[in-house]
């Protein structure tokens, strides 16, 4: 059995619709309701030790899924098993197995020094002293938190607080760590620190990580596997590399010629931009290789320098989001 098993999971929210142009009391009393299908038949499994990116556009259903996996929300349908527990029915048992960070919320006490928040969590979760001390020491060392352990949480920078949040989630060394936008609002240095920490955690402690983010850098650096969800349904579940190969069809050859020239005319490429001696040639992976194209350009002009631009993972994901829920991709079996 996989560590996390999600089968045909769904969640609807009943929301009040504003009465349209209605007048009078009766109209107001007869409120209209609509069901939002936040999560709509999602199935996946995560094996122990995996680090999986759970991504999708705003409102896709990511946070709702994570809330059901932690037991905060009760599913409307489907089956869930996390570390052998049914989250919403066995929240207390599950709490020992999971750690959670919601980037937009805090689990720390605003007015207390960080260290005191950790102490309180130790008591709340009955973490044995030795384990608490070892976990805290490791986090403090790896995330360089020594300098601000005595600082009240409200005075911490966002990057410092996020390191505190991660530590708080890990004091009882959970088998599973759920992260909902852990790098939101952080600068590049702070992001890099958190990514390095998560890599080490996954490698050394074998912690299973399910990560939600809008930062494709997080995904590229951390996750071999991604699950893409949109409008409550899964669009893709599989390795990141084949996804790139499949959607990153168009590449660009950027050549610096020895002198300015009119747009080059070479087979299988379109000049999309010219700036002095530099030209941008767009070409498709299936039609020609970069080597063949470069040879063709070299026959037409003298090349001083060149590079080949691959589409970024952002471009790839953008294309998939734009395709939307109408297009679901067959997935390759995920790495176990």
Which two three-digit tokens encode residue 155?
A: 């005075």
User: Nearer Cβ to ligand ATP, position 55 or 264?
Assistant: 55
The residue from 46, 60, 162, 186 that contacts ligand ATP (CB under 6 A) is: 60
Residue 288 sits in the site that holds ligand ATP (CB under 6 A): no
The residue from 63, 183, 252, 279 that contacts ligand ATP (CB under 6 A) is: 63
Site for ligand ATP in 29-58 (CB under 6 A): 36, 38, 56, 58
- Residue 2: exposure state from Cβ atoms within 10 A (0-12, 13-18, ≥19): middle
> 44-63 mask for Mg ion (x: CB under 5 A)?
------------------xx
Residue 139: Cβ within 10 Å count = 22
Residue 163 sits in the site that holds ligand ATP (CB under 6 A): no
User: Nearer Cβ to Mg ion, position 63 or 252?
Assistant: 63
State the Cα–Cα distance between residues 94 and 85, nearest whole angstrom: 6
User: Nearer Cβ to ligand ATP, position 59 or 185?
Assistant: 59
44 CB contacts (<8 Å, ≥6 apart)? Answer: 4, 6, 227, 234, 237
Residue 64 sits in the site that holds ligand ATP (CB under 6 A): yes
Find out whether 233 and 325 touch, Cβ atoms under 8 Å: yes
Residue 13 sits in the site that holds ligand ATP (CB under 6 A): yes
Residue in the structure block whose two tokens are 């063949």: 292
Closest CA to 231 of 60, 68, 96: 60
User: Nearer Cβ to ligand ATP, position 58 or 330?
Assistant: 58
Closest CA to 183 of 209, 153, 145, 215: 215
User: Nearer Cβ to ligand ATP, position 36 or 142?
Assistant: 36
Closest CA to 125 of 89, 176, 169, 161: 169
CB of 80 to ligand ATP, least distance (A): 15
Find out whether 22 and 28 touch, Cβ atoms under 8 Å: yes
The residue from 53, 61, 103, 164 that contacts ligand ATP (CB under 6 A) is: 61
User: Nearer Cβ to ligand ATP, position 15 or 295?
Assistant: 15
Residue 64 sits in the site that holds Mg ion (CB under 5 A): no
Q: What is the phi/psi pair of residue 245, to 5°? A: -60, -35
Task: Return residues touching ligand ATP (CB under 6 A).
Answer: 13, 15, 36, 38, 56, 58-64
Task: Return residues touching Mg ion (CB under 5 A).
Answer: 62-63
């Amino acid at each position: 059995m996989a560590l996390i098993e999600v089968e045909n999971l769904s969640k609807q929210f009943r929301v009040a619709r504003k009465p349209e142009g209605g007048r009078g009391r009766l109209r107001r009393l007869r409120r209209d309701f609509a069901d939002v299908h936040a999560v709509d038949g999602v199935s996946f499994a995560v094996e122990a030790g995996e680090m999986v990116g759970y991504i999708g556009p705003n409102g896709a259903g990511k946070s709702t899924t994570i809330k059901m996996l932690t037991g905060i929300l009760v599913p409307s349908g489907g089956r869930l098993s996390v570390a052998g527990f049914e989250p919403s029915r066995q929240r207390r048992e599950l709490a020992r197995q999971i750690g959670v960070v919601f980037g937009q919320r805090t689990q720390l006490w605003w007015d207390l020094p960080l260290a005191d928040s950790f102490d309180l969590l130790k008591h709340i979760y009955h973490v044995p002293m030795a384990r608490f001390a070892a976990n805290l020491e490791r986090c403090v060392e790896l995330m360089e938190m020594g300098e601000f352990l005595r600082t009240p949480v409200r005075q911490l920078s966002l990057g410092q607080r996020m390191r505190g949040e991660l530590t708080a989630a890990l004091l009882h060394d959970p088998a599973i760590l759920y992260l909902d936008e852990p790098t939101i609002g952080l600068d590049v240095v702070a992001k890099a620190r958190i990514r390095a920490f998560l890599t080490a955690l996954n490698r050394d402690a074998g912690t299973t990580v399910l990560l939600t983010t809008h930062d494709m850098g997080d995904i590229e650096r951390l996750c071999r596997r991604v699950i893409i969800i949109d409008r409550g349904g899964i669009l893709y579940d599989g390795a990141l590399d084949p996804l790139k190969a499949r959607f990153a069809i168009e590449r660009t050859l950027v050549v610096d010629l020895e002198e300015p020239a009119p747009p080059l005319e070479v087979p299988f490429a379109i000049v999309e931009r010219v700036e002095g001696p530099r030209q941008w040639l767009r070409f498709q992976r299936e039609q020609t290789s970069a080597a063949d194209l470069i040879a063709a350009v070299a026959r037409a002009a003298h090349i001083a320098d060149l590079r080949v631009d691959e589409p970024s993972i952002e471009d790839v994901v953008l294309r998939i989001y734009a395709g939307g829920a109408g297009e679901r991709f067959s997935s390759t079996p995920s790495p176990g």
